[in-house]
Every structure is written in structure tokens, then in C-alpha cells.
Structure 1
Amino acid sequence: MTAARVGVFGLLGSGNLGNDGSLEAVLAYLRAEHPEAVVDALCGGPEAVAARYGIPATRLHWYRGEYRTASRAGAIAAKGLGKVVDAVRTAAWVRRHDVVIVPGMGVLEATLPLRPWGFPYALFLLCASGRLLRTRVALVGVGADAIHNRPTRALVRWSAGLATYRSYRDDLSRDALRAMGVNTARDKVYPDLAFALPTPRGSAPSGSVCVGVMDFHGGNDDRARAEEIHRRYLDGTTRFVRALVEDGRRVRLLTGDACDAPVVAAILDAVDSPLVTAPEVASLVDLMKEMAAADTVVATRYHNLVCALKVGAPTLALSYAAKSDALMDRMGLAAYCHPAREVDADRLLEQFRELEKRSAELRQTLTERNLAATRQLDDQFHELTATLLPANNRPRQEAA
């Protein structure tokens, strides 16, 4: 038996802690169940992935300025050439593998600003190459949502249709793919992959409040009013933090992506209190450690919510997309969602106080829901072995 050649693909190592957390969960599964597998990555931040996870990594795009706006003729030409070069590079990388896994992430959605010829095109190249070269491509625990931009929707639909295996992190995602014309009859829904990460050892709540912030400008359909949405979000969140400080509460500002730093700086400058601090976090495990020590969490980014819920912290979501509402409902906290586009500091404070009154009850609910999530993700990984790596699993099964 030869070792399976497994590739992982996505915007990994690019500063988004949620994406990297999904990668960590899949790598832990592969190392535990398929230690003989040879793993490498095609990703956004190859240097970071190679250094942190110890696997070879290749840059996703030939043109390094792929996600910068091109205004000059030279940059536009380089981007255009990059699309052609990436088609050849992606096919050559896919050809070297038996299986390619896209670990979690919202790869089939456009809830944040997204151009069709960026990542949607890259994902299409991957899935088309897999089909042409007979390499199994698996979209594992991914997120999806309704997409109104026609080119983006077409690329997402084609990509999903060409994949060998699909599973989703919520029913909303599967329903969205079905509405776009993809046959999802055999696709399954499991909790987000980050729920498979180890939970840090618990510590007694310290009386602090974790507030997870985001450089939020609305979604793909909100480009015309992006700055207005951002100002409202920042103003409402700042007023909420100031109200907590006036009550004598200690606040820890947390992020989930490198791009969130300006929001943290703006709040620190506006509130200007020693009660407000911003610890550095480098992974979802770091986030979970912070949240495990908090009395309560208020967060915007999806994977900030996942971390808070996983450690059993009473959580209030500043919801920017339907996926946040679906996650909160799944974990029994549907009543504690507040729209990120229209942050009303007074109403948010009311919800926060109600949440704290029910803290003990909600912690018990989260304990039960987390146990169920762990069992479901065990099923997910068993299914991956049976579907994607059956030949490599046969000697182990026979020995057992």
C-alpha cells in the first residue's frame, strides 16, 4: 500500500483564524487516523502554513497582488495573465494528489465583499481539475448562502457540482446549494469543524466581558453603502463598550482576522479606559482561552461565536449573516442575536443583561449541545475515511 497523497486548499495562513482553525481540525483528523498520509497545501499564506503546521505549502495565486484593486494597466495585465497561469498551476498541483480537501470556511458564500474572479474562480479551477484528472475533491463542512451576483453564483454552482464529496456546517448552506441547482440529496450537515478542536482547560470566570469585533462593511450586496454600515457598526459597538466600562466591567477586545486591528484601535481610542484591553490572539485556541475565562461574550465574527459557544460561555451574537443566526439557534441561544448592520447600543445592553441573568441555565444548555456536536463530528470523520481514503484504511480495519 502506498501512502495517500492529500492536499488541503483554501485561504489558509492569510490571517483569518476561523479558516486556520478548520485546517487544524482536518490535520488533527489526518494525523490521528491516517498518519501515513503525505499532506501539503495550496493556500493564501504558504509561509505561515508551513511554519505553523509543518507541511509543505504552495502559494494559491501566481500574481501576488490578486486581492488588491488593480488600477494601472500593468497591474490589470498581470491579473489577467495570472488567471491563465493559475489554471495551469492548479491543475499541476491537483494532479499530484489522490484527494484534495477544502476544510470548512465559507467557500460557497458571498456574505462578505467578494469578486467572482478571486477565490470563486480559484475554487472552480480546483474542482474542474479534480474532475478532469480524477482526483477526489472534498468540500468538508463548508458554508454556503444565497448569491445574487450571477458570475459568482455560476462559479460556485459549477464548483460544488464538480466536487466528489460535499458536507455543510448548517442546513442553511445545503438549502442554498439546492436552490442554486446543485443536487444535494446525498450531502450531509455536521457542526462546524472548529467544534472538533480541543477545548482549553476551564478556568473560573473572571468577571470580564469578551467583545469580538470585526472590520465590518456589510456584505457583497452592500458595496454602495459600505462606509455607512461600518460607521453604524463601529459607533454602536463603541457605545456598548463604553456602557460596560461605566458599569465597572473589564472588557477584552478580540479579533478573528488581521484586518480587524483598526476597529480595535478605534474603540480603544474612543473609550480610553484601563478597563478595556486587547490581548493578542494567534489561533482559535487562543480565542477559546480568552473566552473560557470570561463571564459573557459578545461577538461578530462567525468563528468568534463558535469559540465562545464551544467553551460554554453565554454568548450574544452581533449577527452579520444568516449563518450566525443558524449557529446560535443550533446551540440554543437563538434569542440572543442582534443585527450588526444596525447596532443599537441601548437594545444591545438590554439583551446583554438578560443573557447574564440566564447565565447558569445557558451554560448547561451549551454543555449538552457541545457533547452532541462532538459525536456528530466523529461521524463526519468516519465518513471521510470511508468515502475518501478507503483503500488506505483497509489494512488498519483488517488488523483491528
Structure 2
Amino acid sequence: MTSAPEGPVRVGVFGLLGSGNLGNDGSLEAVLGYLRADHPDAVVDALCGGPEAVTARFGIPATRMHWNRAEYRTASRAGSIASKGLGKFVDIFRTAAWVRKHDVVIVPGMGVLEATLPLRPWGFPYSLFLLCASGRLMRTRVALVSVGAAEIRNRPTRALVRWSGRLAAYRSYRDAQSRDAMRAMGVDTARDEVYPDLAFSLPAPPSSAPSGPPGTVCVGVMDFHGGNDDRARADEIYRRYLDGTIRFVRTLVGEGRPVRLLTGDRCDATVVAAILDAVDSPLVTAAEPTSLDDLMNEMAAADTVVAVRYHNLICALKTGTPVLALSYAAKSDALMDRMGLGAFCHPAREVDADRLLEQFRALEKRSAELRGTLAERNLAAARQLRDQFGSLTAAVFPATDHTHAHARQESP
């Protein structure tokens, strides 16, 4: 707990927010809900990837994370390469100046300490390191809240992630294997806790058990080319994943089942287009979700979900809808196991449509039982996240703000 500042506590939120990834924005929504409830007087702003989108949707001031607006475009010409290099230097001072204006900076969830998707060390890992180093230098407490982590082989990326973890004032993880990964990379995790993903604190629409003939199956898709270590076979992985998914959807349609295609990031639209082109049927439709709330509404109305993206899985689990995971990383397996559906995982890198259909049919046979299991696990997750928010307040918020938050929680 820090000493009391003059005036309202100043809170910054940081990450690839407003950049088209619904899961990242859902994590931000969860933290803003906590701040509104427990720290209503806090002054909040963001340093993020898509400041215009964050301000428009969440109503908080936001600053672009990178000086170079072409940060995530491939640089091939000498001018663009030089601009990227200059941007890395300028961002040292921009990040430090932003951090200095805050009492607390929160990194809300997300897989910020992993490289399960293609990642370069001088991209987000460098930005996160600048944030945590600035926090230590400026005496601003940086909190990594319910984040994902995985052991990283690439040495520069591993070093940046390790030092980011060490410099943060508060760390918690969304699963035990994330904490284990940080320990294996040299971070002292003795005082770090494990809590559910932040999205489990979001409200969910009511979901009812299906009645009558078999209904809609939601299929969450992903522009999936493997992870950081799969670059040499990225095209092969994508083709195998897409072909297997198309065969699965085609079989469902042949049985008269409506299929609703869902995305989790703007880049997934290409996969939706490929499936619609390959399976020409009015039974296959596509949604255009813009938030986790949109995804949950779609899934609450479905009989069953099959999904790849981590936060698509969370949305299905949160609504209590039985889901089969096309797992692209160990975090998906850990999530499904935690929620009682560990038997219903299928490797996204090696999609076998026949085996996937077998698992799908087994899932639907156990639908009623699994809905009951999910209801219990969701209640437990919500309680655990309430505990985390209390611990976060005590650990990083100024003394007077902590006292006020505790008084609000105790009031009838």
C-alpha cells in the first residue's frame, strides 16, 4: 500500500487495447468495472494500441502506445526501418512521461508474458519492459493482473519478459502454469497468486438448456498459423486447421444443423470468408461481434460451441454453454480443465475432422450434466475475482483510497 496522494488517485491502464482483439478489450472492461465499483473517484486513462477506439467505447482519455504509427507493419525500406528504430528510442521517454503522471498502472489480463502467437522481441515485449522499468524508476506501482505467461525460447524476448515480471510491483496469473512459467524464467513467484481470467467477472446473459430438436452450433474461428516457434510451417498449420474446420461445418450442415461463425479479432474475417465460400448453405451464417458481450449473447442462444480463441472459450464457459476447444496453446487446456471440460480439447495444429465430430457428439450427449458443472464453476470464479480485486486494492492503491474502498465494500 502506498502513501496517500494529493487529490484523486491517478490510474493508468496499459496494453494492446482498442486494436481489434475482443478478449483484450474485455479484460479492460472488467478492470474498469472494478475501478468504478471500488475506486469511483479515480482518474483513469490509457496508453494503448488503439486510443481512438478505447475512448469511443469506454469514455476514458487514451494515448497511442507507440510514437511510430506504423509500428506493427513490416518495415522493408530504409526509411521505414529508420523510423521504427527512432520510434523505439522516442518511446523510452514517452512511456516514462506517461507513467510518471500516475499513482498506479494496471495491465489488465491478456497474454502479455507469453509468445504463443508470432511475436518479435522489439514489439510488445519491449513496450511492456519500458512500462515496468519506468514504473520502478518513477515509483509508480505497476500491476500485472490475471495475466497469461508461458516459457519463451527466444532469448531476447525471454529476457524482456523476465525483467518486466521482476520490475512489476504486483503480479497475478490466470492459471498455475503461467506462474510456473515465470518461475522457470527466473522470477520469484513466492508471493504471486493465481486467479481466473478477468473476463469471468463480466456479467453474462441468461442461458437455458436446449429443448426440442438440435439447434445452433456456434463455431469460433481464428486466423491461426501456429505460434512463435512454428514460423517455418505456418502455412501448413493454417491449411490443416482451415480444411478440418470446413469439413466439420460441412458435416453439421449435412445433418441440418444451423452453424453460426464467430470471430474474436478483426483478422479472423478471412477465415469466415473462406468457410462461407467453401460451404455454400443458408444454414451457415456469420456474426460480427464487437465485444465479449456480443459473443456471449450469441453463445447463450446456442446449443453448443466449438472455438479456438481463448476468450471465445471463456465466453462460452461464462454463459454455461458446453464448448469444445480447438486448443492452440496449453492455456486453453488449463482453462477447460479448470472448468470441468478437460476431456473436450482438440489440437488446433492437427485438426482431425472425424475425431472432432466424435468429441462433439460426446459433448452434446453430456450437455445437461456439463451445464450444471459450469454453473458451479462460474460462481467459484466470480468469488475468486472479488478476492483478487480486494488484494489488488490493498497491494497497490494509496492508503486513503484503500480505506474508502474497504468502507464501500462493508456498507450494506
Would you call these one fold, judging by a TM-score over 0.5? yes
Alignment of 1:114-129 (within 5 A): 114-129=119-134
Aligned residue among 381, 393, 399 for 1:373? 381
Secondary structure of 2:158 counterpart: helix
Q: Relative to 1, partners in 2 of residues 1:240 and 1:280: Cα closer, same or farther, differing over 3 Å?
A: same
* Count of aligned pairs between the two proteins: 400
Residue 243 in 1 paired to residue 251 in 2? yes
CA displacement at 1:393 relative to structure 2: 2.3
Structure 1 residue ranges without an equivalent (≥5): none
CA-based RMSD: 1.1
Alignment of 1:191-270 (within 5 A): 191-202=196-207, 205=210, 207-270=215-278
Aligned residue among 86, 89, 93 for 2:94? 89
Residue 309 in 1 paired to residue 317 in 2? yes
Aligned residue among 152, 160, 168 for 1:147? 152
Deviation track 1:302-352 (CA, whole Å, cap 9, x = no partner) reads: 000000001001110000000000000000000000000000001000000
Secondary structure of 2:219 counterpart: strand
Residue 362 in 1 paired to residue 367 in 2? no
Q: Distance in 1 between the 2:155 and 2:400 partners?
A: 40
| AA at the equivalent of 2:388 | Q
Aligned residue among 104, 120, 128 for 2:109? 104
Q: Relative to 1, partners in 2 of residues 1:323 and 1:397: Cα closer, same or farther, differing over 3 Å?
A: closer
Residue 41 in 1 paired to residue 46 in 2? yes
Alignment of 1:9-24 (within 5 A): 9-24=14-29
Greater RCO (CA < 8 Å, at least 6 residues apart): 2
Contact kept? 2:99, 2:140, Cα under 8 Å: yes
CA displacement at 1:387 relative to structure 2: 1.0
Contact kept? 2:307, 2:325, Cα under 8 Å: yes
Alignment of 1:315-354 (within 5 A): 315-354=323-362
TM-score, with normalisation over the residues of structure 1?
Answer: 0.99
Contact kept? 2:206, 2:319, Cα under 8 Å: no
| AA at the equivalent of 1:219 | G
**Hey, what does 1:394 align to over in structure 2?**
403
| AA at the equivalent of 1:150 | R
Contact kept? 2:221, 2:272, Cα under 8 Å: yes
CA displacement at 1:201 relative to structure 2: 2.9
Structure 2 residue ranges without an equivalent (≥5): 1-5
TM-score, with normalisation over the residues of structure 2?
Answer: 0.96
Q: Distance in 2 between the 1:114 and 1:395 partners?
A: 41
Deviation track 1:29-82 (CA, whole Å, cap 9, x = no partner) reads: 000111100000000000000000000000000101111110000000000000
CA displacement at 1:385 relative to structure 2: 1.1
Q: Relative to 1, partners in 2 of residues 1:299 and 1:396: Cα closer, same or farther, differing over 3 Å?
A: closer
**Hey, what does 1:161 align to over in structure 2?**
166
Contact kept? 2:207, 2:321, Cα under 8 Å: no
Aligned residue among 135, 139, 143 for 1:134? 139
Deviation track 1:82-104 (CA, whole Å, cap 9, x = no partner) reads: 00000000000000000000000
Secondary structure of 1:141 counterpart: strand
Residue 6 in 1 paired to residue 11 in 2? yes
Q: Distance in 2 between the 1:70 and 1:280 partners?
A: 31
Instruction: Give aligned-pair identity as a percent.
Output: 80
Secondary structure of 1:47 counterpart: helix
CA displacement at 1:146 relative to structure 2: 1.2
Contact kept? 1:291, 1:311, Cα under 8 Å: yes
Contact kept? 1:204, 1:293, Cα under 8 Å: no
Q: Distance in 1 between the 2:65 and 2:185 partners?
A: 26
Q: Distance in 2 between the 1:391 and 1:117 partners?
A: 38
Deviation track 1:130-178 (CA, whole Å, cap 9, x = no partner) reads: 0000000000000000111000000000000000000000001000000
Contact kept? 2:207, 2:320, Cα under 8 Å: no
Q: Distance in 2 between the 1:279 and 1:229 partners?
A: 25
Q: Distance in 2 between the 1:116 and 1:135 partners?
A: 24
Q: Distance in 2 between the 1:333 and 1:165 partners?
A: 30
Q: Relative to 1, partners in 2 of residues 1:214 and 1:55: Cα closer, same or farther, differing over 3 Å?
A: same
| AA at the equivalent of 2:226 | G
Segment drifting more, 388-397 vs 121-130? 388-397
Secondary structure of 1:92 counterpart: helix
CA displacement at 1:391 relative to structure 2: 2.7
Runs of 4+ deviating beyond 2 Å: 201-206, 395-400
Q: Relative to 1, partners in 2 of residues 1:290 and 1:395: Cα closer, same or farther, differing over 3 Å?
A: closer
Contact kept? 2:196, 2:385, Cα under 8 Å: yes
Q: Distance in 2 between the 1:104 and 1:160 partners?
A: 14
